[in-house]
Chain A
Amino acid sequence: MTQAGAGRVAPAGVGARIASGPERIEMSGPALYAGLAEVSSFLYKQALTVLPPDVRSAIGRAQQNEPDEGARIRLRVMADAVETSDRTGLIVCQDTGIPVYFLGIGTEIPIDGARLQQALADGIEQATLRHSLRSSVVHPLTRHNPQTNTGRGVPIFHVEFVSGAPWLDLLLVPKGSGSENMSFLAMLTPAEGLAGVKRFVLDSVISAGAKPCPPTIVGVGLGGTADECVALAKRAIARPVGESHPEADIAELERLLCAALNATEIGPQGLGGATTAFAVHVEYAYTHISMNPVAVNIQCWRGERAKARVHADGMVEYGF
């Protein structure tokens, strides 16, 4: 077993034994959707196996900044897990999650949305069978497990249309249950204001404690309706660590919240230490005059995600 030196985690892809996804797919007929299924299959295994570069950097920084010996050991084990997966192709965590797709559909790419969603679901199933991934998806009442990591309503899709874009973006977040179970929504009053929002985020993270596998990425949704607010918080955890919101006042709120959460010293794995959150990301939408919704969605330390951009000519680019 190799060990990372303190503060150093190998860059993504070094030594990774994972097969690559298709570099090009046919852009018409049934082959288009078969190609998209292959891309989806690759993204699922990739997200579970090769952690994003921003997460690796965050683990490294946390190791360097950590005065607590026990916390340093726990961060070292995380770095070791990242590198073990690079080397062996083993998935990092046993939790294969519930697949969540963020789709950016350019208006200049000819695509059938219904067939696209079916193809992406087929890809999740293919990866599950191909790589013997644990099926983590069940019927909510009967708990029936179809053993495919798919089912009615799964994958979850968040769809945006991108005006004038000649491409299709597929961002997959396989969301683990340990962190997803630590999700919170409050329909605050306007009189509770920003102070109420800040307090709710702090209280949520303190009550989650060790359970979401800190250090976490804390996603905060502000505004919208109840459903939109939670979706914004989910979108926030899918943003790369260290990428601040483009609006200065939101970015400042992110920075303040992150500093406050780390002041709690809940620490890596909730056993004390300097880093409780790698980052806080805030996304917002306008809301109603008599509403002040805030949602918290938490991503565990692995920050798993994988992305593909399919261009109109069929070329596929991969990233995180």
Chain B
Amino acid sequence: MLSKDEIARYNRHLLLPEIGMEGQQKLKQAKVLVIGAGGLGSPALNYLCAAGVGKIGIVDFDVVDISNLQRQILYNINDIGKSKAETAAEKLRNQNPFVDVIVHAVKLSNQNALEIINEYDIAIDGTDNFSTRYLVNDACVILNKPLVYGSVYRFEGQVTVFNHTDKNGIKSPTYRCLFPKPPAPETAPNCSQIGVLGILPGIIGSLQVCETIKLITGIEKILSGHLLLFNALNMTFDTLQIFRDEDAVKTAPHNCEEFLKFNYDFFCGSVSTSKTITATELKNWINEKQPLQLLDVREKDEQPEIEALNDIHIPLAAIKAHTGMIARDKKVIVFCQSGIRSKIAIGILENNFGFNNLYNLEGGVMEWMQLTEFQKT
């Protein structure tokens, strides 16, 4: 039941037959998570709070920077250097005391995403990088939650609702159905590199809330199976029809276990957790007696055999079946003849088995030989 104060506060919603008392109570019972309290998150949080969404979660690990103030309207000059999630929560609590605001001042990862998102009915994507966007999508698919997607580029924005199940039980497309593969990082710069019109995320974030309110109250028709494209320069809206693609859905981790092992940064090519090491550096590490494991991924009888590098041997083709032999508690140097197969092996181990302690020997055995030959003469 709504209190007298709530009835007064939500008067303009209560007057709408599409929302009314029933819809407003649904809003009060709803739990919405906003991932990223930046350009999209600012207006999203403001309007969700004003609308009386009962529980609002805020995920953001960042602090307010002066360059955020051009578009992130939740913050002001006194907030610079403060936690975005904490600051936003304080503003929202003052804006509407009937709303329960939960702070998640953490970096969303495959280790915490399922637990956090599971507490909510709907997730709003206000993130600023592909890695987190794929992560949020996959988590929502596993948890069967609708994802209200928005993204911006300079003067243009995209909005849709992914993974929504309609009243006939039909599921809408996911992010992977629209974009099965992330772009190469160097071809897709972000706002901090190329700029963005300040009002643009204001418009797109507001549209995301509009769809969220409709999802909660059951107002037709949802922007699901349709991608809205906005261009602020031409002031045009285009809508494209998109379809669920089960093959694309299957490329995502299928369950919690696979999700926990999936390396999103590696998948998006942004930052591989693996590093490269030169033959000279490796020689120093060996001389310093650093705790190392040396993993040869060449074929069993491949020459030359290097005594100094003789440790464990798993050919690339067999790597998936023998991950148990690979150390996780010390540096593992992965090598092959020239450094190519070892790179592939690292990709497999990081992506599917969650390794984060792998080093690729640059130039492989060839480079090592050259170094040792050089030192002999």
Q: Do A and B originate from a single complex?
A: no
A interface with B by C-beta (< 8 Å)? none
